[in-house]
Amino acid sequence: MRFELVSFLRNRSRYTKIAVLAGADLVLLTAMVLASYALRISSLALPDYSVLPLYLVAPVLSVIFAFLLGIYEASTRNYSVNLEYRILLSQAFVPIIWVMIIWLAGTFGFARSTVATYFVFSVLAMVLMRRGVSWLFNGFDEQPVVRRPRVPILVYGAGREGLLLVEALRKQHQYEPVAFLDDDKTHFGRRIAGLKVYSHEQLDDVLVNKQPQEVIVAKVGLQRATRRLLIEMFGRHGLSVKTVPNIDDIMGGNLKIREIRPIRVEDLLGRDAVPPDSMLMDKALKGHVVLVTGAGGSIGSELVRQASNHKPRKLVIVDSSEFALFEIHRELEARLIGLGIEFVPVLADVQDKKRMASIMEEHKVDIVFHAAAYKHVRMVQENPTAGIRNNLFGTKAVAEAALECGVSRFILISTDKAVRPTSVMGATKRAAEMVVQALASEPGHKTVFSMVRFGNVLGSTGSVVPLFREQIASGGPVLVTHTEVTRYFMLIPEAAQLVIQAGAMAKGGEVFVLDMGEPVKIMQLAETMISLAGLTQKTATNPDGDIEIKVSGLKDGEKLYEELQIGNDIFPTTHPRIMQAREVFLRSSKLAIELSRFDLVMARRQQKEAARLVMTLAKSEISDEQVELYAYGK
């Protein structure tokens, strides 16, 4: 019988299960209201027919309020104390409404004391019902399963989140919480959910007596600096650290074991988020036709995602890679269902000015985010003409098309490698900035040109993080170019949000520089990633370690340190993480002469000469009669 019932319920849809549970509640609660009446009169008799409907109002109210508080949306199979709190709250409303209905009916002969009795009975009935369902599912397996020993874990955080995490884990079969660790002195020495709370100073005792193998962090709002300290502290003792990405899953009693994951390096390097300015985001996007080039890349695709959250009239997504365009188009189809936002995938090359102009004209584009670029330093260094065509002349083509089509705003996505470049890639991006600066200075047009310059983003195809992750997964060695090399890092969503907000602030010709925070030593990054993988570094003092770090030497075009500004003339904007630089640039007439030098070299595919020309242009000393100083705000 039990097997048949479990099989029946498991094979039903979610809505059928909700209907069955609500129906069962209605029957059970009807029995509870009649039991309350019988207790009141000390007799097994039904109420008089004239007042019976007033008694039957209560079960209906109970089910209605249970729906309103999301009790039927919760997973009854994964029962939690949080669900009991919600049941209690839902039933607390019932006596209030019920008494009002009785008062309005003005019916005599109603046993009013049954209201209080029913409240107690209804809470107990609904709680016991759900505990029974939880036992029915979790205490029964269709086939015998060999249980693996549970992993002993230390829970960091003895607050409410930690308590709920422990309760959730005890219903699973993978982890066995053995103790709490916390930095709140009010918790020290207490027992919560049967587990003792220890301080940081007692960690050695916990390791000896409880022998945890892993740590799960269950604290809301931990700063990334604190997470880094935790990783270092637990890493010294060989403990891997995991987290629950969405604390709300714990609070709602919906935690799934697969959602517990190791802390990633992105959780440590990315800064604590500053919420975007919704007014700036809406100004840049709401109701506009937005075109994003390089829409399938790491930055371009995130710009598209962020734009889709702020109700643009239309999104035109452009990429030269069919597969990249297909992937972001498929994602948009799922994201934008029912939102009324039109999106158009366009397979096109940014170097084709006529094609780009026809796209902008056809779709009446308002805003262009130009993210298309070759950004791998080594690849562009080996293929300079391809990098120059795409990064420099591709930018020139798109920017000029925007100018001719009367686009309202054009925002170039630039890079820290454009500042005093040592690589061909950096030089092409600096030259692209020059093109945009020159166009911005031309009088008599309505297009607002601006540039946004920032460093590495975590998780992009050009980032060192995926490379290190791959090297660690293959057993090493991890290759670091130099022991002192440093880089800036930023999370992709934050970078995209700041780009959009900077574009909204532009009035023409600005070079915006994003605050990248503190630079990170790549050697330290490699060591942290090895530790996060639960491995040890192989060194002279630890020859039995798992992964070796080797110094490979700086490659052609690579810098030890990255910079974000060419000069020292930089000032803040209204946004705390967006600055503006005043920089010199070539007049359009002089720049046109410089760019004409590329024609023959590019036509003949003279790689070395092309690389020399672009490096000379990007690093050239500009005399007073050749330059303009864009000094917006002076």
Helices (H), 464-515: 464-473, 492-505
Identify whether 237 is part of a domain: yes
Q: What is the pLDDT of residue 157?
A: 84
Q: What is the pLDDT of residue 531?
A: 75
pLDDT at position 491: 81
Q: Which residue in the block uniquely carries the two structure tokens 């479990």?
A: 6
Residue 242 sits in the same domain as residue 353: no
Q: Are residues 241 and 345 in the same domain?
A: no
pLDDT band at 303 (very low <50, low <70, confident <90, very high): very high
Question: What is d(CA 425, CA 555) in angstroms, rounded to the nearest whole number?
Answer: 13
pLDDT at 322 over 90: yes
- pLDDT value, residue 588: 84
Asked if residue 432 is part of any domain, the answer here is yes
- 368 residue type, one letter: V
Confirm whether 146 is domain-assigned.
Answer: no
Higher-confidence residue: 569 or 194? 194
Q: What is the pLDDT of residues 4-15, one digit of tens each?
A: 555 555 555 666
Q: Domain check: are 220 and 321 in the same one?
A: no
Model pLDDT for residues 370-426, shown as the tens digit of each residue: 999 998 888 999 999 999 999 999 999 999 999 999 999 999 999 888 888 889 999
- Last-in-domain residue among 263, 294, 323: 263
For the ranges 238-242, 311-315, 402-406, which has the lowest average pLDDT? 238-242
Segment holding 335, helix H or strand E: helix 322-335
pLDDT above 80: residue 144: no
Q: What is the mean pLDDT of residues 426-436?
A: 93
- Residue 115 shares a structural domain with residue 182: no
pLDDT confidence band for 162 (50 / 70 / 90)? confident
One domain for residues 282 and 338: yes
CB-based contact 237:202 (threshold 8 Å): no
Q: In this structure, what CATH number is given to the domain that contains residue 530? A: 3.40.50.720
Q: Is the pLDDT of residue 567 over 60?
A: no
State what percent of residues in the chain have pLDDT above 70.
Answer: 82
Separation CA 232–CA 268 (nearest Å): 11
Is residue 37 very low, low, confident or very high in pLDDT (cuts 50, 70, 90)?
Answer: confident
Which span out of 174-188, 263-277, 358-372 was modeled with the highest average pLDDT? Answer: 358-372
Q: Average of pLDDT values for 56-72? A: 83
What is the Cα–Cα distance from 380 to 158, expressed in whole angstroms? 52
- Mean pLDDT (the chain) is 81
- Tell me which of 92 and 515 has the higher pLDDT: 92
Torsion of the alpha carbons at 102, 103, 108 and 114, rounded to the nearest 10: 50
Domain tally for the chain? Answer: 3
Own/partner pairs, 505-508, CB within 8 angstroms, 24+ separation: 505/280, 505/573, 505/574, 505/575, 505/578, 506/409, 506/411, 506/448, 506/449, 506/450, 507/448, 507/632, 508/440, 508/448, 508/449, 508/450, 508/632
- Is the pLDDT assigned to residue 357 strictly greater than 90? yes
Q: Across 45-150, where does the E strand assignment appear?
A: none
Lowest mean pLDDT among 338-347, 458-467, 541-550: 458-467
| Residue 37 covered by a domain | yes
Q: Count Cβ atoms below 10 Å from residue 537 Cβ, excluding itself.
A: 17
* Residue 267 CB-density burial (10 A; 0-12 exposed, 13-18 middle, 19+ buried): buried
Residues 255 and 326 both lie in one domain: no
Domain finish residue from 95, 115, 138? 138
Buried b (16+ CB within 10 A) or exposed e, 128-142: ebbeebbeebeeeee
Work out whether the CA dihedral 120, 126, 132, 134 comes out positive or negative.
negative
Q: With pLDDT > 90 as the criterion, what percentage of the chain qualifies?
A: 22
Same domain, 450 and 411: yes
Q: Are residues 245 and 335 in the same domain?
A: no
User: What's the domain range around 130?
Assistant: 2-138
Q: Is 189 left (phi over 0), alpha (psi -120 to 50) or beta?
A: left
Output the CA angle 171-172-178, nearest 5 degrees: 85
Q: For residue 113, which phi and psi values (nearest 5 degrees)?
A: -65, -15
Q: Is the confidence at residue 466, as pLDDT, over 90?
A: no
- Could you tell me the strand order of the sheet in which 547-551 lies? 478-480, 547-551, 537-538
The answer to whether residue 145 scores a pLDDT higher than 80 is no
What was the pLDDT predicted at 628?
A: 46
Domain closes at, from 237, 263, 289: 263
Report the pLDDT averaged over residues 432-438.
93
> What pLDDT is attached to residue 566?
60
Position 478 pLDDT exceeds 70:
yes
The answer to whether position 73 is within a domain reads: yes
> What was the pLDDT predicted at 535?
76
Q: What's the CA gap between 515 and 272, in Å, rounded?
A: 13
Q: Which of 44, 126, 143, 43 is nearest to 84 (CA)?
A: 126
Q: Are residues 255 and 360 in the same domain?
A: no
Residues 222 and 304 in one domain: no
Q: 494 versus 386: which is more confidently predicted?
A: 386
Q: Is the pLDDT of residue 139 over 60?
A: no
What does the buried/exposed string (b/e) look like for 407-443 if buried means 16 or more CB atoms within 10 Å of the residue's CB?
A: bebbbbbbbbbbbebbbbbbbbbbbbbbbbbbbbbee
> What pLDDT, on a 0 to 100 scale, did the predictor assign at position 209?
87
One-letter-per-residue 3-state SS of 338-359: CCCCEEEEEECCCCCHHHHHHH
Output the pLDDT for position 425.
93
pLDDT surpassing 70 at residue 492? yes
- Statement to judge: residues 155 and 106 lie in one domain: no
- Please give the pLDDT value at position 148: 60
Give the integer Cα–Cα distance in Å for 240 and 262.
Answer: 7
Read off the amino acid at residue 575: H
Residue 129 counted as domain residue? yes
CA–CA distance, 372 with 375 (Å, rounded to integer): 9
Considering the domain boundaries, does residue 634 fall inside one?
no
Task: Report DSSP letters for 428-467, one per residue.
Answer: HHHHHHHHHHHHHH-SS---EEEEEEE-EEETSTT-HHHH
Query: Is 322 found in the same domain as 397?
Result: yes
Which one of 130-144, 250-264, 581-595 scores highest in mean pLDDT?
581-595
272 confidence band (pLDDT: 50, 70, 90): low
Helical (H) or strand (E) element with 425: helix 424-441
Q: Which residue has the tokens 């890639």?
A: 425
Determine the average pLDDT of the residues in 188-216.
85
Q: Is residue 312 part of a domain?
A: yes
CA distance 436 to 446: 14
| pLDDT category of residue 629 using cuts at 50, 70 and 90 | very low
